[in-house]
Structures are given as C-alpha cells and as structure tokens.
Amino acid sequence: MLKQLQMGLRAFVLLASKFWSCLIFLFKKQVRVIAQHQAVKYEIFPLSPLSRHRLSIVKRKVLVLDLDETLIHSHHDGITRPTVKPGTPPDFVLKVTIDRHPVRFFVHKRPHVDFFLDIVSQWYELVVFTASMEIYGAAVADKLDARRHILRRRYYRQHCTPELGSYTKDLSAISPDLSSIFILDNSPGAYRGFPDNAIPIKSWFSDPSDTALLALLPVLDALRFTQDVRSVLSRNLHMHRLW
C-alpha cells in the first residue's frame, strides 16, 4: 500500500512538473510576442522638393543582407547554444533534410527585424546573401519575406568564395556598379574584399532588448541620397562600435 502511494505521488509530481514547464514555456512565448509587437515607429516624413530631386538623379541602391547573427539566430536538434537560454521559444521552426537526414532548426528573429525590412524595402532593392546552405537559407528568407516579395534575389553558400577558413561574398557578382551596393553583415571576413561597401553590425544571438536594426535606420535613410555609398562608408570604419 505504501509502495503504491509512493509511486502515485511520484507520478503526480512528474505530471505537475511537466505541466508547470509547459505553462512557463507558453508564458515566455507570450511575453516575447508582446515585446516584439510593441509599437515601434520611425517617422518617414514627406520629402521636400529638393530631396525628391536629389533622389531622382541618383541610382536606386542595393542593400545586401546577411542572415545568421545579423537578422536571425538559429540552432538545430541536438545542439545547445549557451547564447540561447534554455526554454526560450523560437519564432519559427524549420524542418529541412540535409544529406538525407531530417533536421529541425529553431529560429529566433532579431528584435524589430520585420519593421526594419518593411522600412528599408521602400528605400532599397534588398538582396539576401548568406554563407548557409541554400536549403536552409531559402527557408529562412521565405519566412522573413512573409509573402511580401521583398527578398526575391538570394545568394547562398555556393555563391561564396572559401577563403582563410571562412566564406567571402563577392558583391560585384550581384552588381558591377560598386557605387550603388553595400552589405549589412556581422562577419568582417564576409566582406573583406569590399570594406568600403559594408556596414558592420554586432552579432546577435538572443538579447530581447537589442535595438541595432532600429539604430541603423537614420543612416540608411540618408545613404540612399548619396551618389556613391563608398564616399560615406569608407569614412566610417568605426561604425562597428556603434551597433
């Protein structure tokens, strides 16, 4: 009788523990959703006649966007990253097959990334350029695009150049006009051949209070009016300290 009572008590404790874990998970997910959907504004004022004229005489520029640790962070089955707190709910889960093995990726979106993409897609042609495999990178880009058709041009690992143990990205393969193209990337090695066509950004993993993308909007707003992006970006090698 005592043994049965002990077994019943253990079963109850186990069930209560699972229920509590589930409750905590749902609570954290809801808090995160609320935080990410708080009103975020970047005021876009009507352009003055002079600004409209200036914009009309310069070429529309191309903004190249990295994915991992720039716009998102992900980890997959069996890998526990110390940068992501256990129990932190992902924004979405991707199921892909790599070398005939099914793999689940748990993807976390950088704070304000949806708002950021909404705004910059009005100013620039957006291009995704990731060193990840296409089967993964394409799925992430699809989720970020959310059927808005703003991330139509995409480049993947096969378009990169292996160099010094990492992958470099050839911006001239996207546009031969280097005066009108620049990249936002957390990895300096990715744009080592084009330092004057890059905006560095600090790597992001899971900080919910991160505002790096929002901080870039005033810079990107102004940069679209320039004749040559390199005339500005070559003077701002310290920018990686700002974001």
Tens of pLDDT along 152-200? Answer: 999 999 999 999 889 999 999 999 999 999 999 999 999 999 999 999 9
Is residue 115 domain-shared with residue 4, that is, in the same domain? no
Q: Which two tokens stand for residue 64?
A: 């190249």
Out of 66, 91, 114, 185, the active site residue is 66
Q: Which residue has better confidence, 242 or 216?
A: 216
pLDDT at 17: 55
Same domain, 9 and 87: no
* Residue 173 and residue 197 in one domain: yes
* Domains contained in the chain, number: 2
pLDDT at residue 27 greater than cutoff 60: no
242 pLDDT exceeds 60?
Answer: no
* Same domain flag for 33 and 98: no
pLDDT tens-digit readout, 129-164: 999 999 999 999 999 999 999 999 999 999 999 998
The CATH number of whichever domain residue 236 belongs to comes to 3.40.50.1000
| pLDDT average, residue stretch 201-207 | 95
Do 16 and 78 have their domain in common?
A: no
Give the whole-angstrom CA distance, residue 96 versus residue 48: 48
Indicate if 11 and 110 belong to the same structural domain.
no
87 and 180 share one domain: yes
Query: What domain range is 27 assigned to?
Result: 1-38
CA atoms within 13 A on the CB side of 116: 25
pLDDT of 8 over the 70 cut:
no
Please check whether residues 117 and 225 belong to one and the same domain.
yes
Q: Determine the average pLDDT of the residues in 217-224.
A: 96
Same domain for 126 and 143, yes or no, is yes
Mean pLDDT of the chain: 85
Strand runs labelled E in 58-157: 62-65, 72-76, 92-98, 101-109, 125-129, 153-155
Whether residue 224 is found in the same domain as residue 177 = yes
For 19-32, what is the mean pLDDT?
45
pLDDT at residue number 9: 61
Question: Does the active-site annotation cover 68?
Answer: yes
- pTM recorded for the entire structure: 0.80
The question of whether 66 is a catalytic residue gets the answer yes
Closest among 102, 103, 110, 109 to 79, alpha carbons compared: 103
Give the tens place of pLDDT for each residue, 43-92. 888 889 999 999 999 999 999 999 999 999 999 876 655 677 777 899 99
